[in-house]
Structure 1
Amino acid sequence: MKHLPKHLQPRYRYLAVGIESWPDATVDRRGFQRALWDETRALLGDPGSAAVDPSVLQFDREGSVGRAIVRVRRGTVDRARAALACIDAIDGDPVGLRVRGASGTVRACEEKYLGGPPEPSEERTVVYQRQERTATARSPRVDVRQGDAFLGVTEFDCETPNRDAEIGENHESDRD
């Protein structure tokens, strides 16, 4: 089968998408693709969805942050951004999506908008509302575990317990 001449081949644009979710969310590439198709179809209808033709090319997620590259047809970037803005949950887990930018090639999209590793996150114990709790921290955001769910706060809302100071105070009082 012969290839189409270059002037008849479809032209694409690539969207860099930042993904944020709770640390215990199970967001994967397949679920993201399904949510993207569903929201595009719900917003634009079947003909509009076929014109945009959204496809997830790359998907990477570590902890509660991730990133993806979505391919759409040229001239439909605004409609694809609108469909991405409609996604508020993937497989029942709430997510936040942010389109970082659009590019004409995958390589330019990676270099310009997805350069470097995702934000590092760490598990640590924090004091929130006068109670020690486990949390996932990504400066300046902190996701505090509250029962079986998470609560999003900032570093200013919580403190790191200073156990060394408590131990030192106990030893000083023993000396008196």
Structure 2
Amino acid sequence: MKHLPKHLRPRWRYLAVGLESWTDADVGRRAFQRELWFATQNLVGDAGSAELDSSVLHFSFENGDGEAVIRVRRGEVERLRAVLATVTAVDGQPIGLSVRGVSGTVRACEEKYIRRPQVQIEERTVAFADTARSAVTRNDRVDVDLPAGRVGATALDIRDN
């Protein structure tokens, strides 16, 4: 079977997406891809999902931070951004997504938006809500353990003990 001529091949755009969750969250590529497909189907339906034809090409997630490169058809970037805005959890783990940028090639996408400095993780005791509590800090973000669950805070919300 012959390849299609260049002018008939599908054109793609690549989105660099930042992922953020709790430090002990375990998010895998398959689970993220499945959640992306479900969100796409729920928001734009089966026909819209086929038009987007989105797939996760690159995925890494460790210590609550990660990134992904998602491929989508040219002209469908805005609809994929809307789909990404609806994804709030993967496998029951809350997750935050942010689109860092869009590119025409995978290489340019990774070079411009994926390479970033390492996050320094530190466990310490902080004063939050007038009580000493254990917390995990990641640069300027703080995850404070409360009896009812975790809460996200910033360095301005806490005091060191």
* TM-score of the alignment, normalized to the shorter chain, above 0.5: yes
What does the per-residue CA deviation read over 1:41-81, in whole Å, with 9 as the maximum and x for residues that have no partner? 11111010000011001111121111100000111001111
| Post-superposition offset of 1:2 | 2.2
Query: TM-score, length-normalised on structure 1?
Result: 0.85
Q: Which structure's CA Rg is the greater one?
A: 1
Q: Hey, what does 2:85 align to over in structure 1?
A: 85
Q: Hey, what does 1:125 align to over in structure 2?
A: 125
Q: Hey, what does 2:19 align to over in structure 1?
A: 19
| Post-superposition offset of 1:92 | 1.1
Matched, 1:58 2:32: no
In the alignment, structure 2 segments of 5+ residues that lack a partner are none
In the alignment, structure 1 segments of 5+ residues that lack a partner are 162-176
Partner Cα separation in structure 2 for residue 132 and residue 151 of structure 1: 14
Q: Percent identity?
A: 57
AA aligned opposite 2:129: Q
Q: Per residue, is there more strand in 1 or in 2?
A: 2
AA aligned opposite 1:21: S
Partner Cα separation in structure 2 for residue 123 and residue 106 of structure 1: 36
The DSSP-based 3-state class of the residue aligned with 1:23 is: coil
Partner Cα separation in structure 1 for residue 67 and residue 118 of structure 2: 8
What count of residue pairs does the alignment treat as equivalent?
161
